[in-house]
Amino acid sequence: MLEVTNLYKSFRNVRAVNGLSLHVQAGEIVGLLGPNGAGKTTTLRCICGILRPDAGQIIVGGYDLAKQEQQAKRLMAFIPETPNPYELLTVREHIQFVAMCYGTIDTFRERIEELLQRFDLKEKEHELVATLSKGMRQKLAVACAFVHNAKVFLCDEPLIGIDPKGQHELKSELQRLRDEGCAILVSTHQLDTAERLCDRVIIMQAGRKLAEGTLAELQTQAQMADSTLEQVFLRLTEEAKDAGAVVSDVATSGQ
């Protein structure tokens, strides 16, 4: 459903993403993990089309993002780490606007009521977005992502700032979408959540893929049977750091 091949993206002299390849199948939740600055957000922003990669190919549901941008984008929903919504729309208008942009206004009415209830936005539906708290803005971004029948979900630290009930609703919705055949890529630092939620994880470091697999596969790679994802993550990233595999400066890396 989502296929990324040899992705490169640099900012001045920093190679944020350095030859990354990954795939997410339909019916799979994949965790995108990595230390601060590993390149997770840049990867997600390239996939959803906010950033133009320097090189590499992104295929979404069979559409090449570089050549069939609209078809590819129509299949995707992005929950950003820091939402930047339209402040002067009401909550309801904002969700409606997103549904209109994606051509899903027909199903909007039935879907919005459920989303407003689930994410505790009902009381705020006629308030301006500008008046929302940080967590409510995050919930609005979540509701916008879920209103337009996407097949590929890209979530950048989606749980940050959201209250426990909202986190529970978001995780169950992602699991439901996975079970319906959607492909979901979630970046997070919450490794206990990743362990429970994700079918597989990808660990990034310095723009590269350091490791990939199920918890059992990563335990084998780290030679740490019965360890938690957090323990395995710490071992693998520390080992790579000690081995000097964290240089991401353009001047010192491959391409």
* The one-letter amino acid at 26: A
Q: Given the rule CB under 6 A, which of 9-17, 54-62, 174-182, 220-228 is the region that contacts ligand ATP? A: 9-17
Q: Does 38 bind ligand ATP (CB under 6 A)?
A: yes
- Sole binder of ligand ATP in the list 1, 8, 31, 40 (CB under 6 A): 40
Long-range contacts formed by 6-12: CB under 8 A, 24+ apart: 6/55, 6/56, 6/57, 7/43, 7/46, 7/53, 7/55, 7/56, 7/57, 7/58, 8/53, 8/54, 8/55, 8/56, 8/255, 9/39, 9/42, 9/43, 9/46, 9/51, 9/53, 9/54, 10/54, 10/250
String of contacts with ligand ATP for each residue 141-170, x by CB under 6 A: ------------------------------
Q: For residues 81 and 63, what is the distance between their CA atoms, to the nearest angstrom?
A: 25
Residues 16-35 that bind ligand ATP (CB under 6 A): 16, 34
Q: For residues 129 and 114, what is the distance between their CA atoms, to the nearest angstrom?
A: 19
- Sole binder of ligand ATP in the list 5, 14, 27, 215 (CB under 6 A): 14
Between 98 and 185, whose beta carbon lies closer to ligand ATP? Answer: 185
Q: Given the rule CB under 6 A, which of 8-16, 82-90, 101-109, 223-231 is the region that contacts ligand ATP? A: 8-16
Q: Does 39 bind ligand ATP (CB under 6 A)?
A: yes
Q: Where are the beta strands (DSSP E) in the chain?
A: 2-11, 14-24, 28-33, 55-60, 63-64, 76-79, 152-156, 183-187, 200-205, 208-213
Q: For residues 203 and 238, what is the distance between their CA atoms, to the nearest angstrom?
A: 12
Residue 204 C-beta: closest distance to ligand ATP, Å = 7
Q: Does 218 bind ligand ATP (CB under 6 A)?
A: no
Return the closest-CA partner of residue 166 out of 130, 198, 199, 132: 132
Between 41 and 237, whose beta carbon lies closer to ligand ATP? Answer: 41
Q: Given the rule CB under 6 A, which of 10-18, 85-93, 106-114, 137-145 is the region that contacts ligand ATP? A: 10-18
Residue 80 C-beta: closest distance to ligand ATP, Å = 11
Between 16 and 142, whose beta carbon lies closer to ligand ATP? Answer: 16
Residue 78 C-beta: closest distance to ligand ATP, Å = 14
- Count of residues in contact with ligand ATP, rule CB under 6 A: 11
Q: For residues 232 and 244, what is the distance between their CA atoms, to the nearest angstrom?
A: 18
* Residues forming beta bridges with residue 128, ordered by sequence position: 90
Residue 100 C-beta: closest distance to ligand ATP, Å = 30
Residues 45-104 that bind ligand ATP (CB under 6 A): none
Give me the residues that bind ligand ATP (CB under 6 A), please: 11, 14, 16, 34, 36-42
